[in-house]
């Protein structure tokens, strides 16, 4: 249970009612979360009430009107009861009208963002999330300012994913070939988990990221500093940052452990046995080709599931990623 609590952002040992959460629901990070929870609880209690009532009455009837003697014939139901029939029709009708009205109002609030919302582009891809900020900077985590409406415009590179921030009570399918949108306004600085809520293949359960809510005034500073890292950091460090923001680390480990894809550790300069039976050396060109045409040289023992990064990474970015992968290997570049 602790692992689940940590994942849901409420911390170990805080199973009940921490940060506005409850037995059923995680903590609340937005104002709308309170409204969603109220409607959920209302429907839950109404359903529970009628479940107990209906099953209880049914049990009473089973006992009371059971066949007592062999061959006993049931009395025919002679007439109806207008008052009873009206009650069991009108009460449920009134309840579903109330549920529809409060549900639809909350749905409109959840779907229509304020006009001054700050826009971030989201790309879902097997198996990571990518966030593009207005200045062009991309990151694997969603950074936002506190107390500001954020509008996410989302699309998918491959299959259907579903963008889900449990603490904010927002969830929306991310579909290839079209844009879907959601918005939220975080109430307090902090971190919350982002999940993929649509089964999308082998790495679905690893498609996890974080939304980081910055205190007032700090988001702009962060964005400006983050934007220029390609020019400011040494190549290997810039490469490490870039593999995180591109989400490479969702499938490639750096400690030699096997994930969806091969580990980066010791990769550079090593011989790679391919599915085709050939053996190639992992030099700069091999790494570049692996990014731009991943299906072209699949390593034996792995599936050809990596999407192409053709058009998504610039030459300069490929160069720093190569520098990073190099730094994780003690081999020297092979001499021609
Ligand atoms: Cu993406 Cu599940």
Q: In the 3-class helix/strand/coil scheme, how is 266-295 assigned residue by residue?
A: CCCCCEEEECCCCEEECCHHHHHHHHHCHH
Q: What CA–CA distance (Å, rounded) separates 77 from 105?
A: 44
Determine the pLDDT at residue 184: 94
Q: What CA–CA distance (Å, rounded) separates 314 from 239?
A: 12
What is the distance in angstroms between the CA of the first residue and the CA of the last residue of the chain? 55
pLDDT (tens digit per residue) in 90-118: 999 999 999 999 999 999 998 888 888 99
Q: Is the CB of 167 under 6 A from ligand 1?
A: no
Q: Which residue has the CA at smallest separation from atom 1 of ligand 1?
A: 161
The DSSP letter of residue 269 is T
Determine the pLDDT at residue 331: 66
* Cβ burial, residue 15 (10 Å; 0-12/13-18/19+): middle
CB 323 within 8 A of CB 235: yes
Cα torsion 316, 317, 323, 326 to 10°: value is: -130
Higher pLDDT pick, 319 / 231: 319
Mean pLDDT of the chain: 85
Does pLDDT of 208 surpass 50?
A: yes
Does pLDDT of 75 surpass 50?
A: yes
pLDDT (tens digit per residue) in 146-202: 999 999 999 999 999 999 999 999 999 999 999 999 999 999 999 999 999 999 988
Nearest atom in ligand 1 to 159's CA: 1
CB 294 within 8 A of CB 306: yes
CB 266 within 8 A of CB 331: yes
pLDDT (tens digit per residue) in 32-45: 898 999 999 999 99
Segment (H or E) for 31: helix 31-64
Determine the pLDDT at residue 14: 35
Determine the pLDDT at residue 195: 95
Question: 215: which 2 tokens?
Answer: 């205190």
Q: Is the CB of 198 under 6 A from ligand 1?
A: yes
Directed axis angle between helix 82-111 and helix 31-64, to 10°? 160
Determine the pLDDT at residue 296: 85
- Ligand 1 centroid, distance to 130 Cα (angstroms): 13
CB atoms within 10 A of CB 221: 10
pLDDT (tens digit per residue) in 216-269: 889 988 888 877 777 778 888 888 888 887 878 888 888 888 888 889 988 888
pTM of the model: 0.68
Q: Is 203 helix (H, G, I), strand (E, B) or coil?
A: coil
CB 320 within 8 A of CB 239: yes
∠ CA 289-292-295, rounded to 5°:
80
Alpha helices in 169-234 (DSSP H): 218-227, 229-232
Q: Is the CB of 207 under 6 A from ligand 1?
A: yes
- Ligand 1 centroid, distance to 218 Cα (angstroms): 31
Domains and CATH numbers, the chain: 17-62+80-111 (1.10.287), 118-227 (2.60.40.420), 229-327 (1.10.760.10)
Q: Is the CB of 32 under 6 A from ligand 1?
A: no
Residue 33 φ then ψ, to 5°: -60, -40
- Ligand 1 centroid, distance to 266 Cα (angstroms): 29
Distances (CA, A) of 120 to 31, 191, 211, 218, 219: 20, 17, 12, 17, 13
Q: Which residues lie closer than 8 Å to 310 by C-beta, 6 or more apart?
A: 292, 293
Segment (H or E) for 235: helix 235-245
């Amino acid at each position: 249970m602790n692992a689940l609590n940590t994942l849901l952002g409420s911390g170990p040992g805080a199973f009940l009612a921490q940060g506005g959460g409850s037995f059923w629901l995680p903590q609340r990070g937005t104002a709308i979360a309170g409204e969603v929870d109220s409607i959920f609880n209302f429907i839950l209690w109404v359903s529970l009430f009628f479940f107990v009532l209906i099953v209880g009455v049914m049990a009473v009837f089973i006992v009371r009107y059971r066949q007592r003697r062999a061959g006993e014939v049931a009395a025919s139901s002679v007439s109806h009861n207008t008052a009873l029939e009206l009650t069991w029709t009108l009460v449920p009708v009134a309840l579903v009208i109330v549920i529809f009205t409060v549900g639809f109002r909350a749905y409109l609030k959840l779907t229509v963002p304020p006009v001054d919302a700050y826009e971030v582009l989201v790309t879902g891809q097997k198996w990571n999330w990518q966030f593009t900020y207005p200045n062009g900077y991309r990151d694997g985590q969603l950074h936002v300012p506190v107390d500001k409406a954020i509008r996410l415009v989302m699309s998918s590179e491959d299959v259907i994913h579903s963008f889900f921030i449990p603490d904010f009570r927002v969830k929306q399918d991310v579909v290839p070939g079209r844009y879907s949108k959601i918005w939220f306004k975080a109430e307090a600085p902090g971190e919350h988990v982002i999940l993929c809520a649509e089964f999308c293949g082998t790495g679905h359960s690893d498609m996890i990221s974080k939304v980081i809510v910055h205190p007032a005034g700090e988001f702009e500073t962060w964005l400006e500093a983050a934007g220029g890292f390609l020019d400011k950091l040494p190549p290997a460090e810039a490469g490490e940052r870039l593999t995180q923001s591109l989400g490479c680390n969702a499938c490639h480990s750096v400690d030699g452990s096997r994930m969806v894809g091969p580990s980066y550790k010791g990769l550079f300069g090593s011989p790679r046995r391919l599915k085709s039976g050939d053996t190639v050396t992992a030099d700069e060109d091999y790494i570049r080709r692996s990014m731009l045409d991943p299906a072209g040289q699949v390593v034996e023992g792995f599936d050809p599931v990596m999407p192409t990064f053709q058009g998504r990474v610039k030459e300069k970015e490929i160069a720093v990623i190569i520098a990073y992968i190099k730094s994780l290997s003690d081999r020297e570049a092979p001499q021609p």
